[in-house]
Amino acid sequence: MEQLAGTVNMLRHHSDSLQALRVLEFGRLQKGIYLDHAAAALYTKSQINATHMDLLSNHYGNPHSRHSSSQLATEMIERTRLRVLKFFCTSSDDYSVVFTAGCTAALKLVADSFRWTDGTTGRAPGVFCYLNDSHTSVLGMREVAAQRGASVNCVSISDVERLTADLQWRDGVSTLRHQRACKSLFAMPAQCNFSGRKYPLSWVAAVHGGALDDRRPMQQSENETQETTAPPVAGSNTYVDGTAWYVLLDASALVGTAPLDLGEHRPDYVAVSFYKMFGYPTGVGALLVRNDSQGALARTYFGGGTVQVSLASERYHTCRLGISERFEDGTIPFLEIAALRHGFDVLEGMAGGIHHISSYAFSLARYVYERLDALCHHNGAPVARIYCDTRYDNVATQGAILAFNILKETGEYEGYAEVEKMASLYNIQLRTGCFCNPGACQRHLGLTNEQVKQHFQAGHMCGDSVDVISGCPTGAVRISFGWMSTLEDGQRFLDMVRTCFVVAHSTGEMHCDKSGTNVDNPCVLRPVSPFSDSAVVADCHGVMSAKTADTSHISAPDMQENESLRLSRIFLYPVKSCGSLEVHEWKLSERGLLYDRQWMVVTDAGIVLTQKRESRLCLIKPRLDLLAGVLWLTFPDTNPLSVPLAMDHDKQEQATSAERFTGTVCRARVWGQDCGAEAGRWLSACLNRPGCRLVAHDPGSKRTHDEGRTSLSLANEAQYLIISESSISHLFDSIAMTADDARPDPDDLMERFRANLVIAGGTPFEEERWESVQIGCHSFQSLGHCTRCAVICTNQRTAEFGRQLLVTLRSLRAGKLNFGIYVRASYSSSDATSTLRVGDQVLPAYRLVVEA
């Protein structure tokens, strides 16, 4: 306890000293909590100012020229190479720096250049061996290796530990190694970007000494079955006696918060990305090549600056001799390289040096780990399952990363998308998914290869929000700390978890000893129902996160009259994410309600603006004058703006590229036409955002989407969002039980959920059981529920934000954020001009729930 108290006091003292610095250097966060340092470090204001002044004070020219500005750039680049080597505790006597576009480019460079054999003996190429917990960019190397004849083998942590155990390895690099015709490559991460585990760098010397020459069959450990470890692509257990082993170290996840001493551990190749270390610049990384290992790399392609001589009319060229000169094709990004010096200055000065960063960030991660691990529900069930191989008790084996999933009091998994949405309410930025590390993700989640394939067939793919399928998580939540993180950051994250996910007695929060708790039963993949929570998941703007369910094999009862169900309200939203317009009857078009989401607000960077980024959009209220053919937009204390409803096709034909718009909305490609400078100036003044433009969707264009996905976005393709008055009333009653004086009234709630069609009658959330529905004479097919985000927390009348509504909705829906359903109209283009009217009868067809 004394040690823990000392750690907390240290964290508190250091965090207090960071507060003023955070305001000065990271004011752009605006009290946000940034917990994604493993993805990208934060750049400081001083760093950007220093880079700015450097570029204004010095004229750096193309280093391939020979004038004074070119020479200045060349000198700067060489000094930067030495700075990089010094940071990693080595020198140009031992290593050379090849600048690349990032860590991935460095890995690809090795894959493309590694000489698996010298081609003189006729002996088969060597082996490409990689750790199961490797980043996707390492996995991609296997395809190049296999194409060039090398055997490919994926090994687990226990494999390597067994092969290197009880042996006193020394770095066996010698001239003899480079003379061997057969060359093999072992790729390993320095730190797992999924769990933060640090791998023993002693493996480098062991591999150099021949540890992987062992031909014994690899035994699976008790915790690593064949199902949880990806099998070799080729050459299972193919290890070659007498091969020359080289080691590639993917250090990108490590070096932002931990030291790497290349004087002590000497891998042949090291790949890094500098934005992982100090945030800026992006697009610059490096491959550090051990000088006596360069012979295993050979180039086929050559570009400008990499040759001594070349002929155009004959296949004749001679490459330059230096490693950097041979491998840096074309003009390297010399202005971005100039910025690296100022990033290193921050790490070594303002941040206190890499050893201090390592100790502090690890202590903060350990503090959060211990408290998160101790949280329990009222029944003693743990709140979180943390994915780790250590107990966060040693900075040498664990980095400043926590990966976890939240558990319900029943032991079921909360979806990581739900956790991310709740975190956003508290302005906490974290990452979800598998973090481009499928091997570690699969191992920690206990998923078999077959399960992963079935998840993909069910609609899940990398980067989406399909988070739980048949009770199994498809990914996790990750938080990670950097040198500018504070104790308050960790505490606010823990407060969010307690508030949103801990089910506690009224006596307060509970803790427990989980040593005997068994809630981690292996996931058993069950058939996915097309109506299960994971089959169709959409966010509040309608992005479908899984393939639309195929319901053709499910029968439903005939339409049954229900006099109590009527269409009670109709809303349309002429400008995407702006205010609503309520009507009593309205014409339908092939894309949905006529003029619904026909326009959008675009920033000066070409990004479609929504209430997620700009809540004041809701204060822009539309009015349609169909007789005059005009859309009117109003904003408080501002003269209204008029925009013609019909696009001028003559002007459209003559529009310049600057007046045309091509962009994406919810992953769907859309085309439009700029509505002019006057509309842009009006929007910019209202939103206090220079450069805004109003863009009208081109009705003659067709939107494109990712294959297998449906998108509800600009100019809906005959799709609608339906909610029921009974659901609103039920939610209002739940809110009325809270002590929040600022709770919304029923009309306010209705506006926040931004429905197109509102149904009166029936029971709360009854619409989620509809397979199809007839409204008046129009038929609609259900597409599934709408999963809500923080937009519903914005008061549509005042633009004020309050997080309680989403918290209450989650509690009401037993951990889900579902509210309303999406439907697609079933009519043909021949009756696309018909009308919906308030009072139309609603006849649903309920889906049959068949027990497996």
CATH code reported for the domain at 356-516: 3.90.1150.10
**pLDDT band at 175, cuts 50/70/90?**
very low
- 46: nearest Cα among 76, 26, 75, 66: 26
% of the chain residues with pLDDT over 70: 79
What pLDDT is recorded for position 4?
A: 63
In terms of average pLDDT, the best of 246-250, 463-467, 674-678 is 246-250
Asked, as a colleague might, if the bond just before 259 is cis with ω within 30 of 0, I would say: no
Torsion angle, CA of 131/132/136/138, rounded to 10 degrees? 20
3-state helix, strand, coil in the chain (%, to 5): 30, 25, 45
For residue 238, pLDDT beyond 60:
no
**pLDDT band at 3, cuts 50/70/90?**
low
**pLDDT band at 514, cuts 50/70/90?**
low
For residue 98, pLDDT beyond 60:
yes
For residue 243, pLDDT beyond 80:
yes
Share the mean pLDDT of the chain. Answer: 83
What pLDDT is recorded for position 659?
A: 57
Mean pLDDT of the 224-244 span: 48
CATH code reported for the domain at 68-343: 3.40.640.10
User: Burial letters for 286-306: b for 16+ Cβ neighbours within 10 Å, e otherwise?
Assistant: bbbbbebbbebbeeeebeebb
What pLDDT is recorded for position 834?
A: 84
Tell me, what amino acid is at 791? V
What pLDDT is recorded for position 810?
A: 86
> CA 26, CA 37: separation in Å to the nearest integer?
14
> CA 375, CA 391: separation in Å to the nearest integer?
16
Q: State pLDDT tens for residues 143-174.
A: 999 999 899 999 999 989 988 875 565 555 55
Least-confidence region, from 167-176, 285-294, 352-361, 591-600 = 167-176
> CA 783, CA 536: separation in Å to the nearest integer?
7
Higher pLDDT, 440 or 672: 440
Query: With a threshold of 0.85, does the pTM exceed it?
Result: no
What pLDDT is recorded for position 177?
A: 60
What pLDDT is recorded for position 220?
A: 40
Higher pLDDT, 495 or 307: 495
Catalytic residue flag (residue 182): no
Q: State pLDDT tens for residues 717-750.
A: 568 999 999 999 999 888 876 655 566 788 889 9
Tell me, what amino acid is at 708? G
Q: State pLDDT tens for residues 405-461.
A: 999 999 999 999 999 999 999 999 999 999 999 999 999 999 999 999 999 988 888
- 833: nearest Cα among 821, 825, 843: 825
Q: State pLDDT tens for residues 264-295.
A: 999 999 999 999 999 999 999 999 999 999 99
- In the DSSP assignment, the letter for residue 181 is S
Report the chain's terminal Cα–Cα distance, integer Å.
Answer: 52
Question: What does the radius of gyration of the chain's CA atoms come to, in whole angstroms?
Answer: 30
> CA 47, CA 281: separation in Å to the nearest integer?
10
- In the DSSP assignment, the letter for residue 503 is -
What pLDDT is recorded for position 717?
A: 52
Spatial neighbors of 276 by CB under 8 A, at least 6 apart, are 38, 40, 41, 103, 252, 253, 255, 256
Give me the helices (H) in 377-486, please. 416-425, 438-445, 449-457
**pLDDT band at 192, cuts 50/70/90?**
very high
**pLDDT band at 649, cuts 50/70/90?**
low
What pLDDT is recorded for position 528?
A: 31
What pLDDT is recorded for position 125?
A: 82
Domain range annotation of the chain? 68-343, 356-516, 572-697, 714-846
> CA 220, CA 213: separation in Å to the nearest integer?
18
> CA 135, CA 156: separation in Å to the nearest integer?
14
What pLDDT is recorded for position 543?
A: 32
**Residue tagged active-site, from 129, 154, 434, 436:** 436
Listing DSSP states for 659-681 in one string gives: TEEEEEETTEEEEEEE--HHHHH
Q: State pLDDT tens for residues 795-843.
A: 999 999 888 888 889 888 887 889 999 999 876 544 555 899 999 999 9
**pLDDT band at 320, cuts 50/70/90?**
confident
Query: 238: burial class by Cβ within 10 Å (0-12, 13-18, 19+)?
Result: middle
For residue 549, pLDDT beyond 50:
no
What pLDDT is recorded for position 169?
A: 57
What pLDDT is recorded for position 240?
A: 55
What pLDDT is recorded for position 708?
A: 34
> CA 126, CA 717: separation in Å to the nearest integer?
55
- 681: nearest Cα among 693, 669, 668, 672: 693
What pLDDT is recorded for position 221?
A: 41
- 334: nearest Cα among 49, 104, 79: 79
For residue 181, pLDDT beyond 90:
no
